Copies of this chain bind each other. A is one copy, B any other.
């Protein structure tokens, strides 16, 4: 085994888990924060920015692209990446609604 049993859970649960997975690495957090800080297309500085090998950086970028949260466009010889605002907003809202559900004052806890 070692494979997640996605069919046991709702689509929303799988979706949220996948989003969390995309964020579940400091390098990917760092990439996103960098793109957000620049608030523009970034072409190339990411490898030096992260300190990881070029191949590893490319792999993390691919995962973020697969998750849809960033987009890349070919700009001459290099590729420029930026946040996908639509997906970013979707992430924000899903996480928000997940965390909003709880009412802390219930206090029926142990």
CB within 8 Å of B: which residues of A? 4-6, 8-10, 13-14, 16-18, 20-30, 33, 36-37, 39-41, 50-52, 71, 73, 75, 80, 82-83, 85, 88-89, 91-92, 95-96, 98-99, 101-104, 106, 108-110
Contact = CB atoms under 8 A, between A and B. Distances in A.
Contacts of A106: 39-40
Protomer copies:
2
B29 A25 contact: no
Contact of A17 (B28, B82, B96, B98): B28
B16 A29 contact: yes
B101 A36 contact: yes
Contacts of A18: 24
